[in-house]
Amino acid sequence: MKAKTIVIIGLIAVLLAGVFLPVLYGQAALEIRAASSTAVAGWQRMAAPDGRAMWVSPASALNSADIARVEPRQQADGSPTVVFVFTADGAGKMAALSVAQANKPIALLLDGQLVWAPTVRATIEKEAVLSGVTADVVQRVLAPSRVNST
């Protein structure tokens, strides 16, 4: 009976650490998921930044561990952008996701909130550019606790 109690206590501690440690240390979840502009059973309905309704897959295709670094940049008009440079594994996952989502949206979630939902127009592999977002979103993506920034 003691072994079961220790295992249960250990499991509870691990679950609580996963929930509270990111909050305590300012880390937030960054995820890239498949999305749809039409309802998909089992997917969560969310509002895109432009107000469109999007349905977002419950499964994360990529997360912070799949991103080697992020680089802040500006477009010609001065608007902020961020370049995601994926790890080797992340590039493979991104390529698979972008092929599966060709001419469909993907969702970038920060802290569980949809902050970007572009339509995939080509296969994305090693790098992706996050544009058309606010400076606040750019700063949240560049947070040191999220991914390596340069």
Q: For residue 132, what are the CA distances in angstroms to 19, 26, 107, 116?
A: 31, 25, 14, 8
Domain range for 135: 29-141
Q: For residue 95, what are the CA distances in angstroms to 28, 39, 103?
A: 24, 24, 14
Q: Give the pLDDT of residue 39.
A: 97
Top pLDDT among 132 and 60 is at 60
Would you say residue 20 lies in a domain?
A: no
Is 32 in contact with 62 (CB distance < 8 Å)? yes
Tell me how far apart the alpha carbons of residues 137 and 150 are, in angstroms, rounded to a whole number.
Answer: 17
Would you say residue 21 lies in a domain?
A: no
Would you say residue 54 lies in a domain?
A: yes
Would you say residue 150 lies in a domain?
A: no
What pLDDT band is residue 150 in, cutting at 50, 70 and 90?
Answer: low
Domain harbouring 86, CATH code: 3.30.1360.200
pLDDT digits (tens, 9 = 90+) for 39-50: 999 999 999 988
Would you say residue 37 lies in a domain?
A: yes
Q: How many helices (H) and strands (E) does the chain have?
A: 3, 9
Indicate if the pLDDT at residue 84 is higher than 60: yes
Would you say residue 129 lies in a domain?
A: yes
Would you say residue 90 lies in a domain?
A: yes
Would you say residue 22 lies in a domain?
A: no
**How many domains are there within the chain?**
1
Tell me how far apart the alpha carbons of residues 150 and 36 are, in angstroms, rounded to a whole number.
Answer: 32
